[in-house]
Structure 1
Amino acid sequence: MKFKREPREELELNLTPLIDVVFLLLIFFMVSTTFQKESEISLQLPRASDTETESSQDRIEIVINAAGHYFINDQELVNSDVATVQNALYKISGGKRDIPLTIRADAQAPHQSVVTAMDAAGQLGMLKMSIATSRSTD
């Protein structure tokens, strides 16, 4: 018996389905991935000057001690309400909104006391408000 040998076909590996699956996975991950953009806040920081331009008569100074008591131009207020601070600021400024206002707070003063002073000045529409700090000697 003589068997006839037929030529064998060469086996080939078809890569088309594999490429299709990889392509679909790539599309899936691209669509389902969320990219978060880091937010940035653009600030213009204030600059300090070393010169004294206004006399002490033309400025208002709010001092807040460690206990949270208010002193406006060296006069202590009877209580710490926003309305009291606002009335005192209005009386001293005479209704003028462009008088410079400086807030000096003790480092141990409650944060709410500083916010209350800023809120009272903001409700009056004070245009020139600054917070005084001291330089560290490190």
Structure 2
Amino acid sequence: MKFRPRAPEEPEINLIPFIDVLLVVLIFLMLTTTYSKFTEMQLTLPVANVDAQKDRPKEVVVAVAADGRYMVNRQPLTGKGVDALAAALRGAAAKDGILIISADAMASHQSVITVMEAARREGLMHITFAAQNAPP
């Protein structure tokens, strides 16, 4: 008896169920996505519930005034640039120290980012922000 060898069938991928699942996922994402307009957001910063401040020997406090002036450990800086701030942090901070940014609520975002950039340049990785207690 001779049996004819069958021709191997080509495997095929059925795309219809795949497209159905993708459409369901797309509809789910469209329905659950929230769209917010950031320009309409009213912000009042900084206020938080904080514990009493502990004294740490390796901490550096950078104060940012509303007009963009800086103070590093209660010593005013003459320059407002990243380089001047980095030089002041270089003299005041240890590499494993904590940098505390105490910014005025009306200080510009750029002023705080400048402090963070100077800290990055000097290798300070532990950064925290100071805030006042929220009224009850």
TM tier, smaller:
0.5 to 0.7
Higher relative contact order (CA 8 A, sep 6+): 2
- Name which one, 1 or 2, has greater alpha-carbon Rg: 1
Question: Structure 1: any 5+ residue segments left out of the alignment?
Answer: 1-25, 40-47
- Structure with a larger share of its residues in strand: 2
Work out the CA distance in 1 between the residues paired with 2:23 and 2:100: 50
Cα distance change of structure 1 residues 113 and 51 upon mapping to structure 2, 3 Å threshold: closer
Distance in 2 between residues matched to 1:123 and 1:65, nearest whole Å = 22
Aligned to 2:13: none
Q: 1:8-66, CA deviations, whole angstroms, 9 ceiling, x for partnerless residues?
A: xxxxxxxxxxxxxxxxxx86972772735579xxxxxxxx76462524xx321100011
Q: How far apart in 2 are the matches of 1:90 and 1:130?
A: 18
Give me the CA root mean square deviation.
2.8
Relative to the length of structure 1, the TM-score reads 0.61
Matched residue, 2:38? none
Q: In the alignment, which residue of structure 1 is the partner of 2:56?
A: 54
Show structure 2 runs of 5+ residues with no match: 1-15, 34-49
Matching residue of 1:109: 107
With over 3 angstroms needed to count, the CA separation of the structure-2 counterparts of 1:32 and 1:54, relative to structure 1, is: closer
Distance 2:75 2:22 in 1: 63
Name the TM-score, length of structure 2 as normaliser: 0.62
Opposite residue 52 of structure 1, the aligned amino acid is: K
Deviation string for 1:80-126 (max 9, x for gaps)? 11011001000112xx2111211000000000000110111112111
* Pairing 1:15-26 to 2, within 5 Å after superposition: none
Partner of 1:100: 98
- Aligned mates of 1:134, 1:68 — CA distance in 2: 20
